[in-house]
Structure 1
Amino acid sequence: MPYIDDALLDDPEELTRKDSRNTLRALATAGAQVREALTLSHDAGVERLAEHDRPRSVLVAAIGGTSIVADILELLAEPGSPVPVQARRNLPLPGWVGPLDLVVAVSLSGRAPGPLAVAAEAARRGASLLTVGADDSPLAEVCRRARGIHVGTGQTARASSRTSLWTMLTPVLVGADRLGLLDAPAPVLEAMADRLDERAEDLRPSSEAFVNPAKILAVQLAETVPVVLGDGPLSGVAASRASAMLARTARIPAPFGELPDAASGIVACFDGPYTSIGGRRPGTYDDARIRLGDIDTSGWEPHHFAEPDGELMERPRGPGGKDIFADPYMDGPAPPQLGLLMLRDALPETPTPETDQTESLADAVLTTAREAGVKVMEVRTGPGAPVVRLADHIAMVDFAATYLAIGLGLDPSVSPHVADLRDRTR
C-alpha cells in the first residue's frame, strides 16, 4: 500500500527536487493565466465573433490535457445556448459542418494532430475558425489562411497542457460569451481568476501538511484505490479532470462518475474486494467463523452470536465491517481500501426540490460508503458563478494530484513510459 510521509510534503528541497518542471509553480499561475488570456483575446479580436451572424453550431476540437476545454464549454452552454455545442477530438469532421458553423481548435503547442486536422478540414469547407495555441505553429497558420481568429498562448510560465488549462479555456469562454452561448462576461472571468489566486494561496507548497487541504487529500488518496464521484454535471466535469490528473500526474488509476447516473455503478463496488465488507452484509456470518471455546467471550453482548445455541459466531468486526482478528501473516496482507472522493457543488442560497434531491442522493451514497468501510473524502466548492465554482474544484484536484505524485517519489510532469510510447509511435 503506498504511503506518504506528511513531513515529505513540507520539505521544500524535496518538493523542488522531485518537481523537475515546476508543476506546482505552474499551477499557481492559474489566475495570472486567466488575466493574460483576457488581454490576448482582446488583442486577437475575439469580439469580432459577435459582428457576424450567430453560427448554426459550434464544434470544439481538443485532446489530451486540453480536452476538458470542450467538456467545460458543453457544460456551461447546455442550459441556455441557442445552438448546439459538440466536442470532437479528431477526424472525421462531421458531414454537416460547413460555412454556417464555427469550429474551435485548441492545442497548447499548436501541433496536436487531432485539433490541427479538424481545423484544416473545417477551413477547407469554409467554416469559421477560432483557434488557441502557440503563435508560431501550424494551427495558427491554418487559422490565418482561413481568415479566422487565433489567440496566442503568451508568456506565463507553464509546464505542460495539464497546467495550462486556463490559458486554453479563457479565450474560448470569451468567444462563447460574445456569441451568447453562455454567460461569462469579464467580471465573471475576473472573479474566476481571483478564486484561482485564493486557492493557490491556500494550497501553496509552504503551507504545512496538517492545514493544507490539497496535501491532506493527497495523503488520504495514497491510502486507497480511489473512485471519484461528482454530485452533478458541474462537479462531474471536475471529477473527470480529477481522474485524468490522478492517472497522468500521480500514476494512480481512478475511475470517475457523476450522480445520479453513476450511483448504482459506484455503490456496487462497495460489495467488492476492496472494502472491509468484501461482499458481506453487516450482521451476517459466512465461512470466516470461529468456535466460542477458542477465545474469551466475557463481556460480549448477545447480539454478537450468529447462532441461537451460541456454538458458532461470526468473527467480530470493527467499524465498517473490519475483521479485528485478521492476521497479516497467516491471512495474507489486506487488499487496498476503496476510497470515494466525492466532489460536491456549493449549497444554493435558495434550495429547490432538484437541489434537495441531489443533496439527499449524495448523502445517501456517502452513508452507504462509510457503512461498507470505504474511506470517504469529501470536497465542496465555494459559492460563485458556475465557472468560478468549477475553478475551485479543479484547483483542488490539480494540486492534490501533484502533491500525491511527489509524495510517492514521482516526477509529476515526466513519465518514462509516456516518453517510451511517444518514441515508439513516431
Structure 2
Amino acid sequence: MSPRQKVLIVDDEPDIRELLEITLGRMKLDTFSARNLGEAQALLGRETFDLCLTDMRLPDGTGLELVQHIQQRYPQVPVAMITAYGSLETAINALKAGAFDFLTKPVDLTRLRELVTSALRLPAPGGASTAIDRRLLGESLPMRNLRKQIDKLARSQAPVYISGESGSGKELVARLIHEQGPRAGRPFIPVNCGAIPSELMESEFFGHRKGSFSGAIEDNPGLFQAAHGGTLFLDEVADLPLAMQVKLLRAIQEKAVRAVGGQQETVVDVRILCATHKDLDAEVSAERFRQDLYYRLNVIELRVPPLRERRDDIETLASHVLKRLAAGTGHPAAKLHPQALEALKSYRFPGNVRELENMLERAHTLCENKQIEAGDLRLAEGNCAAEAGVPDLTRIDNLEDYLENVERKLILQALEETRWNRTAAAQRLNLSFRSMRYRLKKLGLD
C-alpha cells in the first residue's frame, strides 16, 4: 500500500484551513496546516510535501515569499496561490515567481479538486528532459537553455507567450510544454488564428447552437470545449481582430464560454499557450492588439531562437531530416558533402528549420549517388546576400525576373505558414484577396 500524499495548507483563517483540510481529506490526502510564513517554513524543513496551498496575505509575510522560498529550496513541491477575488495582478506575479496555479476566494471546491489532482500528477523536475531531448534536437547553448525552460514551464499552469520567427518550431515547443505537464493525457488543440475567417471566429472558438445562424444544422462545440482539461494553442494570435480579442479576454478571465445562440455559459478548464512571429509589443503600441489581453497571455514569455543563432545544430538537424526522408525507402540516407554542410552553416535561413527541411527534401530528390553537393542546395543566389540584408547586384541578370522570384518566395512562404489558406496568406502579406488571386495566376501558382 503506497503512502498517502501530503499537502501543506498555509492560511491564517481557521475556517479556510478547515474547509481545505476536509476537502483534501476526502481525496485521501494527508494535510498539515500552518497559520503563517514562519510555521510553513518550519514544517517544510521537517516534512516532505507533494503540494502546498497558500494564502497570499499572511500575518508575517506573503504567499509570494513562500513561493520563492519553496522554489529555491524545494523545487519539487508545486505551490498553488489562494488570492482574494479580483487580485489578478497578485496571481500573475505568483505565476511569474513559479507558482503552479492559483485559486480565488471564495474557493470553488470543484476547481480546487481539479487543481490538486492536476498538481499531484506533475513529474519530478528534470524528469521530462529525456523526452524533450529526443524531440528538440541540438546541443547549442540556446537549445540547452530552451529545454530547461520547457521543463520548468511544464510544471506550471501559467499562460505562456512563445515568441519566435516563422519556421523556428513554436508549435513543437508548445506541444512539449503540454506533453511533459499534468495535462498530457488531455487534448492539445492547435489553432491558426490567421486562418479562420473573422465572421466564423466566435463560432469556431466558443461553438454554436442549432439554428443560431444560417447553416447551423446541429449543435457544435468550439475549440475551448474541445480543449477542456487540456491545452489550447493559439498560433499567430496577433492576427485576431480586435472584436474577437475582447471575447477571448473574457473567456480567459471567467474560465467560461457561451456558444453562439446559447443561453448558458459552459465552464472550461483550459491552459492557454500562444505564439506569433510578429512583435506583440509593437502590435500593442500600434493599438492593433489589446494591452489587457497581452498581459493575460504574456504572463511568461519563451523565445524560440532562430536557426542562424544556433548554427552548430545544423549538422544534427540535417542528419535527422535526411534519415527521416530515407525511412521506409529501403535505401540508406543521403550524405551531405562537407562543402554542402559549410554552405548550410553560412546561410542565413530566413525560414528557419522549416526552410532547412524543405531545402533538404528538394536536394535529396535531385542529388546523385546519395551525396548532396553544395550545388544541390541551390543557395548561390541568396547566400551572401542573406547575411548582408541586401541583394548581391553582381548576381542579378534581369531585374524583372529577380523581383518575380522574390515575390514568388514570399507568397509561397505565406501560403505554407497558413496551411495554404489563401485568404489568411493575403492578410499576412497585407494584400486584398483579389490582388492575391491575380498574383497567384501571374506566377503560375493557382
What interval of TM-score do these two structures reach, taking the shorter chain for normalisation? under 0.3
Q: Which has the higher relative contact order, 1 or 2, with Cα contacts under 8 A spaced 6 or more apart?
A: 1
Please give the TM-score of this superposition, normalised by the length of structure 1: 0.24
Q: Provide TM-score, normalisation by structure 2.
A: 0.23
